[in-house]
Amino acid sequence: MTDFNLKKEADKLMQIKGKTKGSEFVSLSKYIRQRYGEEKLRLIEKKMEELGYPLRFNEIRPMEWYPEALDVLAMIVAKHLFGWKDLFEVGYSLPRFSWGVRVFMKLSSLERVIAEGSKTWRKFLDVGNFEGREFNEKEKYCTIHLKDYKFHPDMCRFYAGFFLRIVEYTQKGKNMTMEETKCMYKGAPYHEYVARWQ
């Protein structure tokens, strides 16, 4: 992606309303720091500034609300800078650093995540709706709907990774997979994720 296209994409993205807790930026900064080191974090900040949307990770306060678009943009910038194929790995890795996910884990079973996850979602995002639709222990699958969340197509893979990790935290099983079976970018009214395990 050229810098010009990235700028256009950033401008478009930053028009979308919705907020997220600062703790999510903190998780992202910890991930980048451990995977690439402090210098690369500064590189993201530099690029964000060039795009006209400055972000200082060290100044972020975990309990404050910030534009979700800024968080998404930081990830897209990182993808652009580090040559990531998609955001699956980031989504899958962020729960390792997330204060929010540790709180989320009070929902100790996948059944409870499916039933009560929407309340926890709202504590960290004031946009989008997490809906646990089905938990089938016998057939070994569960279904999650993500509604009213349309920031960037790259976030589809991010949430596939993120939800997969949440399922792994709460459900015993082997060879777990997470697939997006419906997508708002392909005309569906919501994103649908199906997790399966053996």
Partner 1 sequence: MVKEKLAQELQGLKEDVEDLQRYMNEFASFLPVAVFDVTLIGIIIFINKAFQELTSYREIDIVGEPIETIFLEKKEIKKIIDEISKKEVVKAKELTLLSKKKKKIPVSIAGSVRKDRQGNIIGYFISIIDISVSKKLQEELEQRVQERTKELQERVEELEKFHRLTVGRELRMIELKTEIKGLKEELERYKNQESKN
Closest distance to partner 1 from the beta carbon of 191 (Å) = 23
Identity of the residue, 12 or 102, whose beta carbon is nearer to partner 1 in the bound complex: 102
Identity of the residue, 5 or 108, whose beta carbon is nearer to partner 1 in the bound complex: 108
Identity of the residue, 21 or 152, whose beta carbon is nearer to partner 1 in the bound complex: 21
Identity of the residue, 99 or 141, whose beta carbon is nearer to partner 1 in the bound complex: 99
Closest to 100 (Cα-Cα) out of 71, 77, 59: 71
Closest distance to partner 1 from the beta carbon of 190 (Å) = 27
Closest distance to partner 1 from the beta carbon of 118 (Å) = 17
Closest distance to partner 1 from the beta carbon of 80 (Å) = 21
Residue type, 55: L
Identity of the residue, 103 or 188, whose beta carbon is nearer to partner 1 in the bound complex: 103
Residues whose CB is less than 8 angstroms from the CB of residue 14 and which lie 6 or more positions away in sequence, other chains included: 53, 67, 69, 70, 73
Closest distance to partner 1 from the beta carbon of 61 (Å) = 6
Q: Are 104 and 120 in contact (CB under 8 A)?
A: yes
Q: Which residues are near partner 1 by CB under 8 A? A: 30-31, 34-35, 61-64, 93, 95-97, 99, 101-102, 105-109, 165, 168-172
